[in-house]
Every structure is written in structure tokens, then in C-alpha cells.
Chains A and B, each alone.
Chain A
Amino acid sequence: AQKVTQAQTEISVVEKEDVTLDCVYETRDTTYYLFWYKQPPSGELVFLIRRNSFDEQNEISGRYSWNFQKSTSSFNFTITASQVVDSAVYFCALSEAGTGRRALTFGSGTRLQVQP
């Protein structure tokens, strides 16, 4: 069965620090997709990035970067030079394509607090 683990429940940093959010997943499927979502205090889940299991290239988008390593079943998210607006709960999620299921399996989230 699929599972997503975000071991860090809460992280607090000071503005401009770099921070990495960890995500470890379990799946028996060979074709799967990994996602990161941001949930600010307003509550709406905002899609950040998608990665498929065949593409291990790391990705950078502005201050955000993602490190996907199949060997360790990890898909970590780094925010460089954090800002107060980055304060939110971040969720990692998994979708298994091979099983035909369309559901996203979410981790329990990491709450990031960026202090000014």
C-alpha cells in the first residue's frame, strides 16, 4: 500500500534562512507521481510541483527547489532565503498510475513558520 511520511511536524526558521522539508514515500508501483502542495492559513491547497517516477532531475523554480531520489524514496523540498509569506503547511502527496487509482495519498504535513 502507498504511504507518504513527513517526519517533520513543525519547523521554525528566521527570515532569509534556507529550509528543507523532507518527504519519504512508499509504493509498489513502478509508475507514480509525486506532488507538493502549500496550504496557507487561508486554507486553500495550492499546487507547487509534480514529478513522475521516471524523471529524477532536480528542479528549481525561483527560491524553490526539489530533490527527487528514487534510491532513498525521497522527494525533498528546499526553500532558499525564506520569507514570512512562506509560512504555511506543506504537504507531499503520491499518486500511483499503475494501479489505475486517481486518489492522492498525502503526508501529514509540515508546518513552516518563518519569523521576521
Chain B
Amino acid sequence: DTGVSQDPRHKITKRGQNVTFRCDPISEHNRLYWYRQTLGQGPEFLTYFQNEAQLEKSRLLSDRFSAERPKGSFSTLEIQRTEQGDSAMYLCASSLIGDNQPQHFGDGTRLSIL
């Protein structure tokens, strides 16, 4: 059983450019989550999907951010018109349905804005 896979591992881009990250969850997991982690901090929740439905979005998710999970399998997170403050590690996690189900995380995508 493979874990959560994220691509790319690292992304360096100039301010103002658009970037897109991909996450492939554990195959039988219905729920998929996106978090952002900055240096020295814990992950902060961005959004989550149950199957293809986006059920919750954080206030951190500005209108420049959009996430999709079109077929209920992999998900993409796009950031438009990137800003310096977007530099962070973007983490994806997946879980089974159930309140007590642990979220399993991928290795993350590190975004650096020049």
C-alpha cells in the first residue's frame, strides 16, 4: 500500500506566477486535506474534500487559491498570482471516513517565491 504522494517536491517560481500542485491520496481514502506549514509552525488547515465534494475551506484560502478533486481521487491545489507570503510547505493528507480516523500525510511540496 503506497502512501500519500505529492508532486512536485519543490517548486521555485517568480512572484506573480501561477503554480499548481498535485496530491494522490491513499487509494481507499475518501477524504483528502490540504494544509500549509511555514517554518517553525505547525500545519494550518486549508481545505478538505470528501470524494469530489469540497466540504470545508479555511479563511486562509484566499480567492487566489483553488483546489479541485474532480473524480474523487487525486487533487490539485492552484495558487494564482503568487506572493512572497505564499512561500511555505504545502501538505496533503488523506483519511478514511470517520471522526476518529487519522490523517496520513504526504512529503509535501515546498514552494519558494523569488
Contact = CB atoms under 8 A, between A and B. Distances in A.
Nearest to A97: B99
Interface in B1-55: 31, 33, 35, 40-45, 48, 55
**Of B42, B56, B108, most A-chain CB atoms within 10 Å:** B42
B86 interface: no
Contacts of A45: 43, 91, 93, 105
Contacts of A93: 42
A67 interface: no
Interface in A27-53: 31, 33, 35, 37, 42-47, 50, 52
Contacts, number: 59
Interface in B68-114: 89, 91, 93, 99-100, 102-108
Interface of B: 31, 33, 35, 40-45, 48, 55-56, 58, 89, 91, 93, 99-100, 102-108
Interface stretch (A12-20, A58-66, A76-84, A99-107): A99-107
A70 B66 CA distance: 38
Contact of B31 (A37, A44, A102, A107): A102
B18 to A, nearest CB: 24
Contact of A103 (B41, B45, B91): B45
B51 to A, nearest CB: 13
Given A93-B42, A104-B43, A106-B42, A44 B99 contact: no
Interface residues of A, number: 26
A47 B33 CA distance: 15
B33 A108 contact: no
A95 interface: yes
A72 B48 CA distance: 31
Contact of B33 (A50, A103, A106): A103
B43 A106 contact: yes
A33 B48 CA distance: 18
